Amino acid sequence: MEDIAKDILIRASQGDIQAFEDVYKASSSFVYNVAYRVVNNREDASEVAQEVFMIIHHKLKEFRFESSFKTWVYRITANSAINFAKKVSRTKTVPFEEAFGEGAVLNEARTQMDQEYQHQLVEKLLAELNPDQRACVVLRDIQGLSYEEIAQALNININTVRSRLKRSREKLLSVRRLVNYEKV
């Protein structure tokens, strides 16, 4: 997420719509992509992103710069996305082994570098995790946040971050072993 100058945040908090658009431009990619990966669905991600920015708009006048604006946005985004995912709790569409197993239309060897393949692979892997685990994996592996930043965003301690990542990755490894990928 890009840094935002303090004067832009102050103007946005005073109702300057142009300044708020600057805030949106600097943070929308982070917000939308985290929402998208946690709720695992484009329409729901748009809804979550809108909700996040309306919360930011309402609460910005109360923001006192005692903590980092980025951390504040990380927290609002993660909370909104996790809550949405828990509320919706969609039934899984296609299990991972069906989508990427022997009968899959996609040929892994041929499409290894294909972006759409990567995109689908990540989507199906994330579908195997619960929303809390998904948020941890997304913030770490896709957004590149440190354990400390994830702990602040999710309001949990670092050891909980560590154990959630470990359990998530063990599960993903076991799911990957179910399909017949080429042994390394």
Nearest to 2 by CA among 51, 73, 76: 73
Provide the 8-state DSSP code for 91. Answer: P
Nearest to 129 by CA among 38, 31, 49, 36: 38
11 binds other proteins, rule: CB under 8 A: no
172 binds other proteins, rule: CB under 8 A: yes
The span from the first CA to the last CA of the chain, in angstroms, equals 35
59 binds other proteins, rule: CB under 8 A: no
Query: Which stretch in 37-45, 65-73, 77-85, 89-97 sits in contact with other proteins by CB under 8 A?
Result: 37-45
| Closest separation in Å from C-beta 89 to other proteins | 22
Contacts 24+ apart (CB under 8 A), 142-147: 142/33, 142/34, 142/37, 143/30, 143/33, 143/34, 145/74
Q: Interaction with other proteins in 72-91: which residues (CB under 8 A)?
A: none
Q: Which residues of the shown chain bind other proteins in the complex (CB under 8 A)?
A: 14-15, 17, 20-21, 24, 28-29, 32-33, 36-37, 42, 45-46, 49-50, 53-54, 57, 61, 115, 118-119, 121-122, 125, 137, 140-142, 146-147, 162, 165-166, 169-170, 172-173, 176, 181, 183-184
